[in-house]
Structure 1
Amino acid sequence: MCLSTLNPHPHSSPAVRKTSSTSRPGRLRARLWKDRYLLLLGLPGIAYFLIYRYVPMAGLYMAFIDYSPFQGIAGSEWVGWKHFARIFEDPEIVQVLWNTLSISFLQIVFAFPIPIVLALMLNELRNQIYKRIVQSVIYLPHFLSWVVVIGICTIFLKGNGVVNDLLKQGFGLAQPVPFLTDPSYFKPIVILQVIWKEAGWGTILFLAALAGVNPQLYEAATMDGAGRFRQMWHITLPAIRNTIVILLILRLGHVMDAGYEQIFLMLNPFNMEIGNILDTYVFFKGIGQSDYSFATAVGLFKGAVGLVLVLSANYIAKKLGDDGVF
Structure 2
Amino acid sequence: MLWKRLKEQKQLHFVMIPMAIWAIVIYYVPMMGNIIAFQDYTISKGFLDSPWVGLKHFESFFSNNFTPMIIRNTLAMSILGLIFGTVTAVIFAILLNEIYNKYVKNFIQTVSYLPYFISMAVAATLFTQLLSRTGAVNEGLISLGIIEEGIPFMEQSNLFWIIITIQGVWKTIGWNAIIYLAAIVGIPQETYEASYVDGAGRFRRMWHITLPAISPTIAILLILNSGYLLQGGFEQQLLMFNPLVMDYAEVINTYVYKRGLHAGEYSYATAVGMFQSVVSIALIIFVNKITKRIVGQGLW
Q: Calculate the TM-score normalised by the size of structure 2.
A: 0.94
CA shift at 1:172, angstroms?
7.0
User: Is the alpha carbon distance of 1:24 and 1:184 closer, same or farther for their aligned partners in structure 2, counting shifts above 3 Å?
Assistant: closer
Q: Deviations over 1:218-271 (max 9, x none)?
A: 111111111111211111111101000011111111000111011100111111
- Give the residue type in structure 2 aligned to 1:126: Y
Conservation of the 8 A alpha-carbon contact between 2:219 and 2:295: no
Question: Hey, what does 1:248 align to over in structure 2?
Answer: 222
> Which residue of 108, 124, 133 corresponds with 1:159?
133
| Pair 1:194-2:194 in alignment | no
| Pair 1:99-2:73 in alignment | yes
Measure the CA separation in 1 of the matches of 2:69 and 2:56. 21
Measure the CA separation in 1 of the matches of 2:17 and 2:178. 26
User: Is the alpha carbon distance of 1:47 and 1:201 closer, same or farther for their aligned partners in structure 2, counting shifts above 3 Å?
Assistant: farther
Measure the CA separation in 1 of the matches of 2:95 and 2:19. 34
Identity %: 38
Question: Hey, what does 2:9 align to over in structure 1?
Answer: 31
Measure the CA separation in 1 of the matches of 2:5 and 2:82. 47
> Which residue of 210, 234, 243 corresponds with 1:260?
234
| Pair 1:131-2:105 in alignment | yes
- Give the residue type in structure 2 aligned to 1:215: Q
| Pair 1:217-2:195 in alignment | no
Q: Secondary structure at the match of 1:66?
A: coil
> Which residue of 249, 263, 272 corresponds with 1:289?
263
Measure the CA separation in 2 of the matches of 1:132 and 1:24. 47
CA shift at 1:28, angstroms?
3.0
CA shift at 1:128, angstroms?
1.5
Measure the CA separation in 1 of the matches of 2:22 and 2:140. 48
Measure the CA separation in 1 of the matches of 2:248 and 2:291. 33
- How does 1:175-194 map onto structure 2 within 5 Å? 175-194=149-168
- How does 1:82-97 map onto structure 2 within 5 Å? 82-97=56-71
Question: Hey, what does 2:35 align to over in structure 1?
Answer: 61
- Give the residue type in structure 2 aligned to 1:32: K
Bigger drift between 285-294 and 214-223 goes to 285-294
Measure the CA separation in 1 of the matches of 2:46 and 2:62. 27
Measure the CA separation in 1 of the matches of 2:267 and 2:18. 31
Q: Secondary structure at the match of 2:243?
A: coil
- Give the residue type in structure 1 aligned to 2:296: D
Measure the CA separation in 1 of the matches of 2:27 and 2:177. 27
Question: Hey, what does 1:9 align to over in structure 2?
Answer: none
Question: Hey, what does 2:292 align to over in structure 1?
Answer: 318
- Give the residue type in structure 2 aligned to 1:143: F
Q: Secondary structure at the match of 2:182?
A: helix
Bigger drift between 173-182 and 91-100 goes to 173-182
Larger Rg: 1
- Give the residue type in structure 2 aligned to 1:313: V
Conservation of the 8 A alpha-carbon contact between 2:226 and 2:280: yes
Measure the CA separation in 2 of the matches of 1:48 and 1:113. 36
Q: Deviations over 1:9-41 (max 9, x none)?
A: xxxxxxxxxxxxxx97576344223x47xx64x
Measure the CA separation in 2 of the matches of 1:147 and 1:138. 19
Q: How many residues align?
A: 300
Q: Secondary structure at the match of 2:170?
A: helix
Measure the CA separation in 1 of the matches of 2:293 and 2:244. 46
Question: Hey, what does 1:146 align to over in structure 2?
Answer: 120
Bigger drift between 259-268 and 284-293 goes to 284-293
CA shift at 1:164, angstroms?
1.9
Q: Over aligned residue pairs, what C-alpha RMSD do you find?
A: 1.9
User: Is the alpha carbon distance of 1:175 and 1:132 closer, same or farther for their aligned partners in structure 2, counting shifts above 3 Å?
Assistant: same
Measure the CA separation in 2 of the matches of 1:261 and 1:294. 21
Unaligned runs of 5+ in 2: none
- Give the residue type in structure 2 aligned to 1:278: I
- Give the residue type in structure 2 aligned to 1:188: I
- Give the residue type in structure 2 aligned to 1:85: E
| Pair 1:278-2:252 in alignment | yes
Q: Deviations over 1:267-319 (max 9, x none)?
A: 11111111111111112223211000010011110011111111011112222
Q: Secondary structure at the match of 2:155?
A: coil
- How does 1:228-243 map onto structure 2 within 5 Å? 228-243=202-217
CA shift at 1:51, angstroms?
2.9
Q: Calculate the TM-score normalised by the size of structure 1.
A: 0.87
- Give the residue type in structure 1 aligned to 2:195: A
